[in-house]
Structure formats: C-alpha cells, structure tokens
Structure 1
C-alpha cells in the first residue's frame, strides 16, 4: 500500500512514520493527537487562510509568554482544558477539599511569613483575616503543612502584572500550620478581575462573544509530607461571575462566606478548613 500522503489516508500515513522504538506513552499521545487533529481539519474543511491565521495565533501566543505571564496556560484555561486535566488527575475521595486550576500568576519563592502576618504590603483593599485548619480525611490535624497563598489587589491586579506599582510579592505568602493544624494570615478581600485580554487569548474571547472575567478568589496551594498536593481557590460568595468564570474554575464547595466584622484591623473574616487526601496505593 502506498505510503504517500493523501487526504483519505492522512492519519495512517503520518502515524505510520512513528518509529518502532518510540516510548509507548508518547506513541499513544501523538497517535491520538494526529487522529483528532486531522479529523478536526477534515470536519471543518479548514481553509489555507484559516490555517495561516491559526499559525499566527499560536506564534503570537508564544511571543506573549514571559517570566511573569503564561499565555499558553491562559489559552488552556479558557478552553476548559486545564480544568479537564485537573478533573481527570485529581479525583479526590469524598470529604477531601476539591481542587481547581493553578492559574498563570503563581510565583515560586514567595516569602515565608509568621502566623497572623499580613500578605498585603501596599495596605490597599478591605482587610480580611483568614483562619482555619488543615486536616486529614479522619479529621486529624496536619502539622507543618505549607499554605502558599496569593491573590489580586484591590484594583484586580496581581503584583507581577504591575511591576513598579505594586511591591514584589504583594498579596503573597507561605504559612506553616501549627501542631493543631491551624493556620492564620491577613490579606485583603479579593475582587473580580478580567484575565489579560490584550493578547491572542483576549482576542479569541472577544471574537467568541465571551467575557474575560474571573470571580473574586484567593489562591491556595497546600503541601504536606505524605499527602497529595492541593491546588484550590476560595471564591467569594455572591460574586456576579461565579456562574460564568472565564476559566471554568468554580466549584460549589469552594464558594465561601466572607463574614463582616467590626475588629480594629479587619473588615472581613473567613474561617475555612482544608482536608487533604493521601496518595492512592497502586
């Protein structure tokens, strides 16, 4: 049978060139990718002009990436791919805190802070006290768990989006639980914000008639020896974008009440426990 390329046998021809010694997992992924990609091109009858536009779109997406911005993660997020990968890979047992997307604005190396310390370095926004415990599935406290937390500022921007305007590591910090699994820190009540819309992802959303807004939330990444890593959010109850998050990251169990308080240092209080699961035995 001919090995020359044709529209009718395009999948077989391309996948037939994969080497015999190729890693089995890579073979499975690339075979499926070629199959679905060629099927998509045939189904929509992609024109040459549309192909050129797609290449330009992906090229510009790469050019937008930097140390502080990941346009490809943003693209994955708005297409629902990030949440699908999360759902497939993090099927937590009942009772464990649900996970969601990491997002494009996590920064390694955030400073470790003392319990109760504030992550708000610019003093802007409505001050909020966050406190609770980190527990296992049996309700036992997890000591020495690390909570890496970050959020936007009162204007809806992360520090890396406004270098020179916000202090480095503004609204970021790492906190360690005590012997009773307790954590506490101060920050600001998050606000809704649009994901960066000045690049290819924003142009795509506009062309599709979709808004770029995310509901107000705090990011939390928790690690503890012997437990699965947890990437999650705390969403502000009542936010107008909970039902239409641009990156599909909202889960009902992650929506929390921000309680008004009359304390001298805070206007809001959030009390929330996180429950970690242990890795599944294979």
Structure 2
C-alpha cells in the first residue's frame, strides 16, 4: 500500500517550524542571564539576526563571505584605525545610536556622530585665539553663545573644537606628530565664545579597506560634507557632541556616515580680504569666512 507524500504546503510548514524551533532553542540558551539589560539585548539580537537570515534566505556561501568580510575588518583595525566603527558608521548604526541616546529636549542643539579623530588634552586657546596652529586652509572666525533651553547663559562651558585641514586630513593622520586644527576654550561669564579656525572642506572617510570596498560595490560615495566638530560640556548639562556643516556645500545630501541634520547646516559667510576682521587681525591680504553657532545644552538626566 503506497503512502501519500507531503504536499509542498506541508513541506513549507515543516521548514518554517524547524527554523522557528532553532531560534527558540537559542533564545532559551540565554535564560540564565542574570543581568536583565544584557538578557534583553541578547534576546532581541537573536530574534533580529535569525529573522534576517530567514528573510533573505541566506546561503552558506554568502554566510562564509560575510565572515571573511568581518575578519578583514578586524585585520585592518589597530590603535589608529577602527574599521568596525567605520562599518557601524556607514550602516547608520552609529548615528541611530546617537539619535536614540540624545532625546529631543526643547530647542537643545542636536547631536551627531563623534568621529574617529578626537584627541584628549587638546591645547587651550583664549577667546579670539587661533586653533589652526599652522594647518592649511582659509581662516574662519567662529563665534556664538552657550545657553540652556530657557536661554540662560552657561558660563564656563568647555568647548572643544577640531577639524580637518584644507587637504581633508586631521593632524593625527600625519606621521610627524603635529598637533593642529584642534583646541578648547571656555565660555565667558555671558556664555559667549569666539576663536579663529579654518573654513571646513569635504573629505573622504578611509576607503582603502573592506568598508571602502563595500561602498564601492554598492555604488556609494565615501565623502563627508565639510564640517566643524564641537564637544561641549558643563556641570548639570547633558554633554553635547555635534558638528556644523557648510550650507550649500557638497555632499550634505549624501554624507557617508549619515551625520547631517538640517538644524546643523550653517552659513559660513565668505569675506573678502578688504573687510576688517572682528578682532583686527591682519590676514596679509587673504580672504576669510565667518560663522555663528549658538549652542543650546539640555539639562543632564536626573
């Protein structure tokens, strides 16, 4: 007596059941996790990873290529280059984490990605000082205020500023140990600050490694729009990591790391060499620019 074979629908149901059972077994393996937050992350990560594999019907060849890609990311990562952060950046995960972590509060200045080129113990500069320290580029007068969300000044706020030179490189990307185009100062008693820097220029993220190959394969540009980095800290206020972007500049609609926000696009106003500088500085006939960036800090979470 012959037996009737399962219908295609039955086979699909059996396959789905096997896939779900595996996910459930992995979830059960985390049941002994005593840290509630870690348990939440592990369970959610498992659900999403397994759902991804099922949705795209990942092949074993593709899985192997993915593992090889991650190994290559690790191979080029060292104390000066973090390719895993770069990978997070180009997927927008870094920026999404920043967005989730910095809840909207009134008109507080929006945060954006930190970037890999911050350096501790930058030189202190006085108000009206020049952070460029010989870095190439057009001089830029930068000024503004630091206030809270009700408009009160935040005197003494520490303002870190750093940027790339006119060639698109940060000082740490050179091999000669230079310290340039970075510094910090403190808001005065009225919350004001002012300094000289450089008019920012666009530059590519490092794209000579596996992340660059991924961008090329997907037809994406490695370019970041011109920007100026800020980190602002003050007692009782939420620390702010952000940058401002040049209005009308290239790549604001295609930032490789998704860091651009409309509120951070700012006017860098070109000034001819004939116009006097705000502090009377002699620029030896060079043109310059100026920008105003008023910073609003949210209160720190209780």
| Fold agreement, TM-score > 0.5 | yes
Could you tell me which residue of structure 1 aligns to residue 15 of structure 2? none
The separation in 2 between residues aligned to 1:236 and 1:249, in whole angstroms, is: 13
Task: State which of 53, 64, 76 in structure 2 corresponds to 1:52.
Answer: 64
From 224, 230, 252, the equivalent of 1:220 is 230
- In the TM superposition, 1:168-247 aligns within 5 A as 168-247=178-257
Q: Distance in 1 between matches of 2:109 and 2:232?
A: 11
Tell me the residue number matched to 1:95. 107
Q: Deviations for 1:109-145, whole angstroms, at most 9, x for unmatched residues? A: 2222222221112241101111111111121111111
- Counterpart for residue 82 of structure 1: 94
Q: 1:191, CA displacement in angstroms?
A: 0.3
The TM-score, its normalising length taken from structure 2, stands at 0.87
C-alpha separation in 1, matches of 2:234 and 2:98:
19
Q: 1:63 to 1:112 in 2, by over 3 A?
A: farther
* Contact 1:68–1:105 under 8 Å retained in 2: no
Instruction: Report the counterpart of residue 289 of structure 2 in structure 1.
Output: 268
Aligned 8 A contact 1:130 1:271 in 2: yes
Structure 1 moving runs of 4+ over 6 Å: none
Question: Are 2:299 and 1:278 equivalent residues in the alignment?
Answer: yes
Determine if the alignment matches structure 1 residue 124 to structure 2 residue 136.
yes
Partner residue, 1:62 = 74
- 1:142–1:237 Cα change, 3 Å: same
Structure 1 counterpart of 2:5 = none
The equivalent residue for 1:13 is 25
Q: What is the aligned counterpart of 2:161 among 143, 149, 163? A: 149
Q: Is there any run of 5+ residues in structure 1 with no aligned partner, and where?
A: 1-5
8 Å CA contact retained: 1:10, 1:38: no
Q: Taking structure 1 as the reference length, what is the TM-score of the superposition?
A: 0.92
The reply on whether 1:114 has 2:126 as its aligned counterpart is: yes
CA distance in 1, matches of 2:158, 2:81: 25
Q: Distance in 1 between matches of 2:237 and 2:289?
A: 30
Root-mean-square deviation over aligned CA pairs: 1.7
Ranges in structure 2 where 5+ consecutive residues have no aligned partner = 1-17
Structure 1 residues 25 and 39 mapped into 2: Cα distance closer, same or farther (>3 Å)?
same
Is residue 69–residue 105 contact of structure 1 (8 Å, CA) maintained in 2? Answer: no
SS at match of 1:59: helix
Q: Secondary structure at the match of 2:61?
A: helix
Alpha-carbon shift at residue 97 of structure 1 (Å): 0.8
Larger radius of gyration: 2
Shift of 1:239: 0.7
Distance in 1 separating the partners of 2:82 and 2:122: 18
